[in-house]
Copies of this chain bind each other. A is one copy, B any other.
């Protein structure tokens, strides 16, 4: 008998009908002879409604209380889900993050899991129950306060529980059929990926793919927990994310896993920086001290005549104000001319383990963009990823052109594939 951890997102349990549909699916997994642990998010818009209430009461809700508030959402969905399962004649028990042993640090609103002690869950499933666990939440090791894990936290809860319980697989149920070679809303011909490595999935997540969040994939890779991303609305096989493809998974796969895009970032350019040692360090120390996370960094070649250079970097739009303020305060200390802020940018990334041994990939990527008339503003590469920054207006054009050029379109005969058993 295997142990399966399933995670259902808010859109899958948006109303009573959704909860009943999901309950049936869970019972099916149990009937197939598995022990089943389910992680569930808050229903549909519940979290947004709670945030709205908080804002009506206080312009800056305190972290501890905000977490206490938000965790009410999963409490509702998990209790209802357990009821719905019991109504189908199977035993179920719901558990809060705290009861399930999800121990976190004390950083409210974006806590990190530091340990999982799933004793009560183990006992519950060994007694024949289906265990329903609140996603997104835990309890701090110090102070025993309720914490939340931040956006996408329920996926991380599921993977962490799967690791602690030594589950065979962590199934992430969502409202799409799996991970695609590009966002299907942008590229109609995007293909579902049957299998993808943890590394490629990490790059896709870091590049704007929303299906799985980076932290969740990182956790799964560390503990080697296979993830199966699939739709809660169909019975179709979705995308497996793992170290190596399992026996019956699609082993043939493309050099390129997919194209990701991200329009949530802005670009800051620090203009007129003296081209001497320590300048870049001073800028990024200032940014780091302001607790701003940056993404791409590019330094232009220095103009010999002036001895000055420009340094550009990208960061989440939501942190733009904070970064600008911090840099302005340090302008004289660092010694630069001015700042430029641009939030009309898009990042397009090509991800695939195959590209590191295929020198033509980079050239093909730039050619595709050029043919589509898309201008490139910044470039950044890793061994299995190339990212460029373009105008935000060009993003759809650019993604489609690249997707097509690399033979990823679903009706294309030109898919760049190679045989083998993975990487």
Q: Which A residues fall within an 8 A CB radius of B?
A: 16, 19-20, 50, 53-54, 56-62, 64-66, 68-69, 71-73, 75-76, 78-80, 82-84, 86-87, 92-94, 96, 99, 144, 146
Contacts and interface: CB of A to CB of B under 8 A. Distances in A.
B57 A99 contact: no
Nearest to A49: B76
Contacts of A79: 54, 65-66, 68-69, 72
B53 A87 contact: no
A44 to B, nearest CB: 12
A interface SS class = helix
Contacts of A94: 64-65, 68
A84 B58 contact: yes
Nearest to A23: B57
A84 B55 CA distance: 10
Contacts of A54: 79-80, 83
B57 A16 contact: yes
Copies of this subunit: 2
B80 A57 contact: yes
A60 to B, nearest CB: 8
A16 to B, nearest CB: 4
A144 B58 contact: no
Contact of A75 (B20, B64, B72, B92): B72
A146 B82 CA distance: 14
Q: Which 3 A-B pairs have the closest CB atoms?
A: A69-B79, A16-B56, A68-B79
A58 B79 CA distance: 11
Given A19-B57, A57-B16, A66 B83 contact: yes
Given A62-B83, A62-B86, A82-B65, A76 B50 contact: yes
Which of A20, A79, A82, A93 has its CB near the most chain B CB atoms (within 10 A)? A79
Given A57-B16, A57-B19, A99-B144, A76 B69 contact: yes
B69 A57 contact: no
16 contacts: A16-B56, A54-B79, A54-B80, A57-B87, A58-B84, A58-B87, A65-B79, A65-B86, A65-B92, A65-B93, A68-B78, A68-B82, A69-B75, A69-B79, A69-B80, A72-B76
Nearest to A80: B57
Contacts of A61: 83
